[in-house]
Structure 1
Amino acid sequence: MTTRRSPLVLLDLDGTLVDSAPGITASVVTAFTAMGLPVPDAAGLRSFVGPPLPASMTAHGVAAERMSEAIGSYRRAFEDGGMWNSQVFPGIPDQLRRLRAAGATLAVATSKPEVYARPICERFGLAELVDGVYGAPLDHVPSTKATVIAHALEELPLLGVEVPPVEQILMVGDRHHDVTGAAEHGIACLGVAWGYAEPGELDDAAGLVPAVGVLADTVLAQLARH
């Protein structure tokens, strides 16, 4: 297989490409209610969008011995319809096309389990605009954004993509775990202003993309610095 090397842009899914809060938060409400636990307030529910689910469950009082029950309740609700209760942010498809036209390789790198991320990207027309979709394992193997990035970097060569030096790889995401996960690999991360970050959460990012309409220009400008 002929390999090709080009700049690589890793894209978070929830809060970066897709507004998935309605389905995620509704599934969280269903899970906490089924377990007889206090449902987080609006800000707490919003904080579930993006980070690995076990970390969010722990942060909101789910004990370790009930984690499997909590995740199972959430996933049943998510699979019953929550995963489709989302929409692509307006303008994202055009920005992805611009990046590909500029020669960038694009891959989704999400903390969402890959078995959900792939059909979601297919349903909403994103799969055809990227070179690969990578996510977390479905089982209880510990997963972070850093492990998801490692998974993507290991799998992309199987598609004929020669992974470039870290200076030509860029993560784009809306939460701090995108920044820290990328940093573990020596990769810069651009934050996006339209996602679910709390004030100051993206202060450590290499920069901030203020609006969807300038995503491609901002990414290409960041890559051009190296």
Structure 2
Amino acid sequence: MTLVLLDLDGTLMDSAPGITTSVAHAFRTLGLPAPDDRALRSFVGPPITTSFPAHGVPPERLAEAIRVYREDFAATGMWDATVFAGVPAQLARLREAGCALVVATSKPEVFAVPIVERFGLAPLVDGVFGAPLDEQGTKADVIARALATLDRRAGDGPLLDGPVLMVGDREHDVVGAREHGIDCLGVRWGYAADGELEAAGAVAVVDDVADLAARALSLLGLGA
């Protein structure tokens, strides 16, 4: 089997509007100055548990900030998102080429699964793996659980006996994949800062959604 691991926020979906609105709501509710728009966009991708402290939330108020954020996100923010134009067609092309597709996201799985279902991506992927609700761990941990689960599904024979590729838009996608000896194809349409993906060691970076499947298949040795 050839496996493609797919990040969600910034790779398959433009999730920034809902995430940044809920983050700003949390800062305002706590009476703290909200980050500017550029800083708010940096919240998209990494665990919220690390992003809040990095932007001024004191340790003693972190649990409160996370609670307020999640309440607002669950009510409205998680649905304020769109699938990037062209993504479904690219996923369909990868499946037609024989790839298994699995979402591997740092977003808590309790949010990721209904989002994938609500926005019509569920029929195009073979599984959705996310972080626990407390968001403890790293992207590498999410990938590890996805790989282990797929192996268990194999039954008597190995399922993960072909090449594996990660596709993501942030440095933690690249680093998490590398911990498992997996190359990461970066995507330019997400939320990475200029040069972030290259500096992290992405094997390549694709600029346009329309080129995603062809570039992934080429890196997997399946041609264009």
Q: TM-score, normalised by structure 2?
A: 0.94
Q: Which residue of 1 aligns with 2:31?
A: 36
Matched, 1:216 2:213: yes
Gaps (5+ residues) in structure 2?
none
Mapping for residues 80-159 of structure 1, pairs under 5 Å: 80-139=75-134, 142-159=136-153
Residue 163 of structure 1 deviates from its aligned partner by 4.1
Q: Which residue of 1 aligns with 2:64?
A: 69
Aligned residues: 219
Residue 63 of structure 1 deviates from its aligned partner by 1.9
CA distance in 1 between counterparts of 2:51 and 2:220 reads 32
Q: Which residue of 2 aligns with 1:205?
A: 202
CA distance in 2 between counterparts of 1:92 and 1:117 reads 17
Residue 82 of structure 1 deviates from its aligned partner by 0.4
CA distance in 2 between counterparts of 1:196 and 1:159 reads 33
Aligned-pair Cα RMSD in Å: 1.6
Gaps (5+ residues) in structure 1?
1-5
Task: Write the letter of the residue equivalent to 1:206.
Answer: V
Q: Percent identity?
A: 60
CA distance in 1 between counterparts of 2:216 and 2:159 reads 17
CA distance in 2 between counterparts of 1:214 and 1:163 reads 27
CA distance in 2 between counterparts of 1:180 and 1:168 reads 18
Mapping for residues 151-190 of structure 1, pairs under 5 Å: 151-160=145-154, 162-164=158-160, 168-190=163-185
